[in-house]
């Protein structure tokens, strides 16, 4: 399973804007680089990243080979209700990773 690091507050006041940071380990091979044997290394990237708050999508991002290795994404969200923030990454070669964190909104 992919190595994921997510940084989101555990608690927040209702209506507060919280910053959510997500990092995942991935080579993000561009498909434009020759390898040691001179042949082009096939593309292997994460194409899609999405975040849901209690099942409602709050953020989606379509990535290209121009995203650095180990993609890091930071975005913000309004703390609406307590629950689960779930993250999902999908990409080439059937890559899929999921992660979730709990947040308590008071």
Which residues of this protein are in contact with another protein, per CB under 8 A?
17, 28, 30, 32-36, 41, 53, 56-69, 71-78, 80
Q: Given the complex with another protein, which of 2 and 50 has the nearer CB atom?
A: 50
Structure tokens at 87: 């993250």
**Smallest separation (angstroms) from another protein to the CB of 1:** 22
**Smallest separation (angstroms) from another protein to the CB of 10:** 18
**Smallest separation (angstroms) from another protein to the CB of 98:** 19
Side-chain-side CA neighbours of residue 100 (13 Å)? 10
Terminal-to-terminal C-alpha distance of the chain: 33
């Amino acid at each position: 399973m992919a190595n994921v690091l997510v940084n989101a507050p555990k608690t927040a006041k209702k209506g507060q804007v919280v910053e959510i940071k997500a990092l995942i380990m991935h080579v993000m091979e561009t498909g434009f680089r020759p390898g040691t044997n001179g042949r082009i290394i096939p593309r292997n990237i994460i194409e899609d990243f999405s975040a849901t708050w209690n099942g409602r999508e709050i953020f989606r991002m379509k990535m290209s080979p121009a995203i650095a290795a180990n993609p890091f994404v930071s975005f913000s969200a309004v703390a609406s209700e307590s629950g689960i923030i779930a993250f999902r990454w999908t990409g080439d070669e059937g890559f899929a990773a999921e992660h979730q964190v709990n947040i308590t909104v008071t």
